[in-house]
Structure 1
Amino acid sequence: MEITIKEQDNKGFAMAREDGKRAGMMTYSVAGKDHIIIDHTEVNPEFKGKSVGKKMLYEIVAMAREKNIKITPLCPFANAMFKKSTDIQDVLKQS
């Protein structure tokens, strides 16, 4: 599975593709030079159960670590993943 991250203006997304098909997308808003807000995750039904959402989230987390930015997960899926995955909580924005 290939995951690409693109950003334009104050929006960004991670897109997952497999065998030329779009498997899912996770979108975020840029809330400052060191802060993004993950606002939506969608996975195409035929890719359910393949950890597509988790893979996209981990790519965004890797990008956040590289750029030294923090993440606020407003999306219910991303929020749940941050709560149960201690290995990514270092990029979680504290309130």
Structure 2
Amino acid sequence: MQIEHQNTKHGGVFYIERDQARIAEITYQQRDAQTMIADHTWVDPLLRGKGLARQLLDALVSFAREKHLKIIPQCSYVDVIFRRDPSLADVDASIL
């Protein structure tokens, strides 16, 4: 499945569509020039458990790395994955 990115007024969204309907998304807000806030992750209930949320998070992390940004894991899903996966520590703004 292809992940798309769309800028919004204060941040952006990475999403996956199927049959012209959004089936999963992760949104972020730009806090400042160095930090973004991952504030929401959603996957269609019929597709949960298939790894879509992680694919979206990986896209967000790649974007943050490319832009040299840190991520505040405000979304509970992102927070849990950041705690479980030490390979994401380089973009985790909650690590001081």
Taking structure 2 as the reference length, the TM-score comes to 0.89
Q: Aligned residue for 1:70?
A: 70
**2: CA distance, partners of 1:20 / 1:49:** 21
What's the C-alpha RMSD, in Å, of the aligned pairs?
1.4
Q: Is the Cα–Cα contact under 8 Å of residues 15 and 25 in structure 1 kept in the other structure?
A: yes
**1: CA distance, partners of 2:5 / 2:32:** 18
Q: Bigger CA drift: 30-39 or 19-28?
A: 19-28
Q: Aligned residue for 1:59?
A: 59
Runs of 4+ with deviation above 3 angstroms: 18-21
Q: Is the Cα–Cα contact under 8 Å of residues 23 and 52 in structure 1 kept in the other structure?
A: no
Higher strand proportion (structure 1 or 2): 1
**For structure 2, which runs of at least 5 residues remain unmatched after alignment?**
none
Alignment of 1:1-95 (within 5 A): 1-18=1-18, 20-93=20-93, 94-95=95-96
Quick one: percent identity of the two aligned structures? 29
**1: CA distance, partners of 2:81 / 2:71:** 12
**For structure 1, which runs of at least 5 residues remain unmatched after alignment?**
none
Aligned length: 95
**CA shift for structure 1 position 19:** 5.5
Q: Deviations over 1:28-59 (max 9, x none)?
A: 11001111001111100121111111100000
